[in-house]
């Protein structure tokens, strides 16, 4: 099963995160299938590759809670057909 989750990068006390598609069994810094975005909580910046995210969501990937909040804020779920997947 594939999940969309955050992968920590950056230095101590200055964490930035990559949003990646990764196998569930992999660890947090494990090998990802594809990088699909970037999130900087300190500067509140987000960069998303929307076509890649939609591709993985259509194939059945499940976003984690934090990634789901980021995607909702960016209104990515509005681009999915309502009968394909149900996210709150």
pTM: 0.81
For 45, list phi and psi in degrees, rounded to 5.
Answer: -110, 145
Q: What are the C-alpha distances in Å from 69 to residues 75, 77, 87?
A: 10, 11, 11
> Where does the pLDDT of residue 81 fall: very low under 50, low under 70, confident under 90, or very high at 90 and above?
low
Q: What is the pLDDT of residue 41?
A: 92
Class of domain 2-79: alpha beta
Mean of pLDDT values over 62-84: 82
Answer positive or negative: Cα dihedral of 88, 61, 22, 37: negative
Please tell me which residue, 18 or 78, carries the higher pLDDT value. 18
* Backbone torsions φ then ψ of 30, nearest 5 degrees: -70, 180
All structural domains of the chain with their residue ranges: 2-79
Supply the pLDDT for residue 70: 93
For the segment 12-65, what is each residue's pLDDT rounded down to a tens digit? 999 999 999 999 888 777 788 999 999 999 999 999 999 999 999 999 999 999
């Amino acid at each position: 099963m594939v999940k969309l989750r955050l992968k920590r990068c950056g230095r101590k006390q200055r964490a930035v995160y990559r949003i990646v598609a990764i196998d569930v069994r992999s660890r947090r810094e494990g090998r990802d299938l594809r990088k699909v975005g970037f999130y900087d909580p300190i500067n509140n910046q987000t960069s998303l590759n929307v076509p890649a995210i939609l591709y993985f969501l259509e194939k059945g990937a499940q976003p984690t809670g934090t990634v789901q909040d980021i995607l909702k804020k960016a209104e990515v779920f509005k681009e999915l057909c309502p009968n394909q997947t149900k996210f709150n």
